[in-house]
Structure 1
């Protein structure tokens, strides 16, 4: 089978999909819509994946680029003649694929495209419903996103729920933190980990304010923040203004191979995201046996139950601070919660098992 995998950029998530597809007997092509900001994934394309040269993929894609990209995509489809086109997010890649006449089309939601963007305005709602109409299958990564798609008009019989999952052998509680806490001088501290990209949708400013409030009451709190993003200046301003920036380590871009050590260095994983499907970083934390404190949004509610962590009101920095303090004061319960977190990941977030659902969705798409 020829598979054309069409995604907005090239991220660790895309690498994981492509690496798994490269291990199958299928002929896989990768089409990249745009190149935006700093590189999110430094690893090259997996061996055997064929990068497609076309009019996109070299700079940010703008609405005005639509006609040029659409014409180029039609030429790509004519040249490759894929048996299935896998495209997402919905209002960008999947829309272009739908308008270009890609058939069969397996559209994949990335969570926020349906939870936040679909009804942002009349254009995005039209785009969403157009994709639904033209899709043989719609992939959703949890029940909240699936329910949202159906509410927006997607035929429930064409929706496949596919939690992306993680590599449970790579992300595990075993192996230590590589001396990270020792090098930072944090052996006796309570370490909080935030791994989300520093963008507005992930509520990273809420996280910074919440940490600052909690740190004003406990001087043993520390914050580890890998990554980067457009809010970098704002985040550092919040932490500096609160006088706690010296208690924060900005780790920059962390290599995939080193990520498990970063998770294992933490006592608590925090995400203040305003929108999520099944968050991969949350699944990675659970797989490493790290309890979680997350915003109370539909995607998180499917994963963070009282046995593995806590939730706080979305956007409420004071509630987040209270959650951090509660976790820090109850460190004795974290080991048990960490074991439950790992068990939940083994049950629901096994990438090797879940990937078979994707292959099944491709087969379903070709039969429509």
Structure 2
């Protein structure tokens, strides 16, 4: 029998949120469903959206906070409701996890003196912050300074952690994962390239992808693209790719996919496309790797692990001509695709959700024990801690 922990996790996003529903939300559900199965009492407090309701299954409680009328109302009321819930019910938990978002800081270190950790899955780009107009300087300051108020932090990768340099913070590196059955799925030689993720034209680089596709089509290259996902920019993305009615021979929009349909698309594609301008780690990259599929990604720092680990190829972010060249290569060089696919599947075999959940559980136990002692062990913090974790978990060095 394990000693169960009571865990409160604040995350605005949720897998069923029609406005977001990104890879970070999937990761939260995958990890906490496993913690709950091990006997821990876990609550995920997320931002309300139309149709959201409180429910519990297998020890995992899903708690919507705020009013889900519009994205702006949802975010504002979520923040107020989260503060209130923390003040009223914080003592009922052993540890609080805050999934950081610059527009809704939960202020756990200020409102509650208890074991807590901030989790950082994305660094908002300057372009993203500038969209908030007069609030941009405020959000920029929050992003730069607020995460460092925590004694403990969980990052997807060391590359992401470098965005917030700090020698005193206790840091853990726990990335994305994949279901075990992905590794056993036979890979087939598909006739399409796959984009899998949120439909955001700028953040996800779908404007670049559209321009690259049109280059190839104008040159007579037989390039079929499947777009799988949801998001606020769906109409814009459709217009960018088609300039009219969708041509199913060239572009297919599947909508949001999960389960067997998602696995079928991954296993049957020629390669994955992720031309993002901003990312945390890219869950779809790891899922594609598990299906023995290479990836073509932008060369932003957070995705540098793709080329470093031989999982695929990069191109200069925003360069549609370079992306088109990569797409042409992957459509014609089957030998390279197979070689990279084998490397990718071997790499992904170390990244199952079970292993990530075990690492997450161990981190929470260590945080609870350390805070209960009233301090931190200086032998395991800062840069030394960073190096030790990479030594113990080589996949964290990506």
Question: How far off its partner does 1:66 sit?
Answer: 7.3
Q: 2:196 is matched with which residue? A: 195
TM-score w.r.t. length of structure 1? 0.83
Q: 2:211 is matched with which residue? A: 209
Aligned match for 1:293, one of 271, 293, 296? 296
Question: How far off its partner does 1:255 sit?
Answer: 2.2
Q: Is this contact kept in 2: 1:224–1:249, CA < 8 A?
A: yes
Question: How far off its partner does 1:332 sit?
Answer: 2.5
Q: 1:346 is matched with which residue? A: 349
Q: Is this contact kept in 1: 2:129–2:140, CA < 8 A?
A: yes
Distance 2:67 2:119 in 1: 19
Distance 1:221 1:322 in 2: 12
Matched, 1:174 2:185: yes
Matched, 1:262 2:274: no
* Stretches of structure 2 lacking an aligned partner (at least 5 in a row): 16-25, 372-398
Question: How far off its partner does 1:160 sit?
Answer: 1.0
Query: What pairs up with 1:197-346 in 2 under 5 angstroms?
Result: 197-199=198-200, 200-241=202-243, 245-246=247-248, 247-305=250-308, 307-346=310-349
Distance 1:336 1:53 in 2: 45
Q: Is this contact kept in 1: 2:6–2:94, CA < 8 A?
A: yes
Distance 2:339 2:327 in 1: 17
SS of aligned partner of 2:93? coil
Query: What pairs up with 1:83-94 in 2 under 5 angstroms?
Result: 83-92=94-103, 94=105
Q: 1:104 is matched with which residue? A: 115
Query: What pairs up with 1:105-120 in 2 under 5 angstroms?
Result: 105-113=116-124
Query: What pairs up with 1:31-70 in 2 under 5 angstroms?
Result: 31-35=45-49, 46-52=57-63, 54-55=65-66, 60-62=71-73, 65=77, 68-69=80-81
SS of aligned partner of 1:86? strand
Aligned match for 2:151, one of 128, 131, 136? 136
Distance 1:48 1:306 in 2: 37
Distance 1:70 1:45 in 2: 19
Change (3 A) 1:364 1:113: farther
Q: 1:358 is matched with which residue? A: 360
Q: Is this contact kept in 2: 1:89–1:113, CA < 8 A?
A: no
Change (3 A) 1:258 1:158: same
Change (3 A) 1:221 1:306: farther
* Stretches of structure 1 lacking an aligned partner (at least 5 in a row): 178-186
Change (3 A) 1:322 1:71: closer
User: What's the CA shift string for 1:142-183, capped at 9, x where partnerless?
Assistant: 121111121xxx34541111112222x222362467xxxxxx
Q: 1:73 is matched with which residue? A: 85
TM-score w.r.t. length of structure 2? 0.77
Number of residue pairs the alignment of both structures matches: 348
Aligned match for 2:12, one of 8, 14, 38? 8
Matched, 1:123 2:150: no
Question: How far off its partner does 1:248 sit?
Answer: 0.9
Question: How far off its partner does 1:13 sit?
Answer: 2.7
